[in-house]
Amino acid sequence: MSSVNKENVKKSKDKKALGRMFIFPVCVLVIYGILFTIDPHKSLMALKASGNILLTIVLPLVFVFVIMLVLNLFVKPAQIVRLFGKGVRIKGIVLSVVAGIISMGPIYAWYPLLKSLREEGAGTGPIAIFLYSRAVKPFLLPVMIAYFGWTYVVILTALTVFAAIAIGCFMSVLMKE
């Protein structure tokens, strides 16, 4: 395939992905439309309730953007891959956890990279640790704290890291490495 064709295919995929993002909110709007014809008063109350939810997380969302910006400024995908551990030893574990935590974007964007890392000899343990550690989202912490409080977030984050390491060890044993 020529490079021009590849770019066209990529653009087409991007457009499709963009279209898919709007399916859900449009469906919700359609439901609103239907309910508005049945019970306009309650539908307006629902919209107001949604507005109130948005108001409560506007400030955390601003922090989300700021943290995203900082990560994008100082963390590059190539650096994340460099962090990736190649064995279930202390250094490999720590680096895989860090790589998982600072990685951003949808998981499916990382699959091709994980596949090639696997083919280059990366163990299943570090890959499993990386995937689980993605549950810790530094840029979303402001929203999480706004809803659940500091104590909960700190405890869940610590246990998530612990669980990531446990999963890595389980996977290494079960995949017979």
Partner 1 sequence: MKIAISSEGTDLKAQVGHRFGISPYLIIADLGTGNFEAVPNPGSLGQQGTGVQTIVLAISKDVKVALTGYCSPAARRHLEANGIEIFTGLTGTAGEILESYKKGKIQKAKAATIEREPGKRVVNKAIFIHAMKRSGNQFTSMLPIFLGVVMLIGLLNTFVSRDFLAALFSGNPVSDTFLGAFFGSILAGNAINSYVIGGELLQYGISLFTVTALIITWVTVGLVQLPAEIAALGRRFALLRNGICFLLSIPIAIITVVIVNLVTR
Q: Considering only residues 123 through 162, tell me which ones interact with partner 1, judged by CB under 8 A.
A: 124, 127-128, 131-132, 134-135, 137, 140, 143-144, 147-148, 151-152, 155-156, 159-160
Binding mask 8-37 for partner 1 (x = CB under 8 A): -xx--x-------xx-xx-xxx-xx--x--
Q: How far is it, in rounded angstroms, from Cα 89 to Cα 169?
A: 10
Helices (H), 75-149: 77-83, 90-102, 111-119, 124-133, 141-148
According to the binding rule CB under 8 A, does residue 82 interact with partner 1?
yes
Nearer to partner 1, 53 or 90 (CB): 53
Which listed residue (58, 90, 108, 121) binds partner 1 by CB under 8 A?
A: 108
Number of residues that bind partner 1 (CB under 8 A): 80
The smaller minimum CB distance to partner 1, of residues 89 and 147, is found at 147
Identify the CA nearest to 134 among candidates 163, 171, 172.
Answer: 163
121 DSSP assignment: T
| DSSP 3-state percent helix, strand, coil across the chain (nearest 5) | 85, 0, 15
Interacting residues with partner 1 between 39 and 68 (CB under 8 A): 42-43, 45-51, 53-54, 57, 64-65, 68
Gap between the Cα atoms of 52 and 56, Å rounded? 6
Q: Using CB under 8 A, which of 76, 89, 91, 177 touches partner 1? A: 76
Query: At 174, phi and psi to the nearest 5?
Result: -70, -30
Nearest distance from C-beta of residue 175 to partner 1, angstroms: 7
Please report where in the chains the tokens 């910006």 appear, as a residue: 69
Closer CB to partner 1, 94 or 143, in the complex: 143
Q: Does 3 bind partner 1 (CB under 8 A)?
A: yes
* C-alpha atoms less than 13 angstroms from C-alpha of 147 in its C-beta half-sphere: 10
